[in-house]
Amino acid sequence: MNVLKRISIWFLVGMSTSVMAQSTNWSDWVTFKAKDGSFSMAAPAEPEYLSKEITTSVGAMELHSYMVAPTYADENPNLMYLVEYYDYPEGTFPEDSVELKQFFYDQTAQATSFEIGGKLSYSSKSVIDGIEGMLYRCQYKNGTYVMKSRMFFVGDRFYHIKVYSEKDTSLNDEMDWYLDSFRLLRE
């Protein structure tokens, strides 16, 4: 066997071992259920629940948040996992108000990007658990960090799922796994 072929084989073996060592052990993730029983999601750890009143253009609303912030020792490629939701007054977003919802998604993506000092990289329509919404990504802190998000309505309840990461590690399975894990718990 020639030297070049041996080097190629050792390189491939080394790369496959490296990739396997970096893969996530999904069995370590937990599936949590919202306190009100409306949805479940997977996360790298049990999330912290926070609730606070916020003021919006349609009045005061209760913002509900579930957050996981892995530590450096966790060897997780993401800095924070967050799902937030709040309820608009009944009838604010009728099921057939597709254009109104799209306008809201576009404005929310722009405003969220602006709030963290970033710039919207892309947005597209998305579907999760049969629910239509929007997927978007923004870069912030001079492009060194990334936030990828999914947002959608269930009735008049607005859900906003976000993952924050350093740009160098932002293309990772954990980010997509989290964003795709939302399941509405239907009665």
In the block, residue with structure tokens 């496959």: 16
* 54: its two tokens: 């916020």
Q: Which of 51, 69, 45 is nearest to 165 (CA)?
A: 69
Residue 46 or 21, more confident: 46
Return the pLDDT at 1.
Answer: 52
Strands (E) across the chain are located at 30-33, 39-43, 48-56, 59-68, 78-87, 118-128, 131-140, 145-154, 157-166, 183-184
pLDDT, average across residues 22-31: 77
Nearest-angstrom CA–CA distance, 139 and 126: 20
User: Residue 157 pairs with which residues in a beta bridge?
Assistant: 87, 154
Return the pLDDT at 72.
Answer: 77
CB atoms within 10 A of CB 172: 16
Confidence (pTM) = 0.85
The mean pLDDT value of the chain amounts to 88
Return the pLDDT at 139.
Answer: 97
Domains of the chain: 24-184 (3.40.1000.10)
Cβ partners under 8 Å of residue 85, min gap 6: 38, 63, 64, 157, 158, 159, 160
156 conformational bin, left if phi > 0, alpha if psi -120 to 50, beta if neither = alpha
pLDDT digits (tens, 9 = 90+) for 169-183: 999 999 999 999 999
Nearest-angstrom CA–CA distance, 55 and 150: 22
Inter-residue contact 66 to 47 (CB < 8 Å): yes
Q: Is pLDDT of 9 > 50? A: no
Return the pLDDT at 58.
Answer: 87
Distance of CA 13 to the CA centre of its chain: 33
Q: Is pLDDT of 98 > 60? A: yes
Nearest-angstrom CA–CA distance, 117 and 48: 25
Nearest-angstrom CA–CA distance, 37 and 100: 27
Nearest-angstrom CA–CA distance, 138 and 149: 9
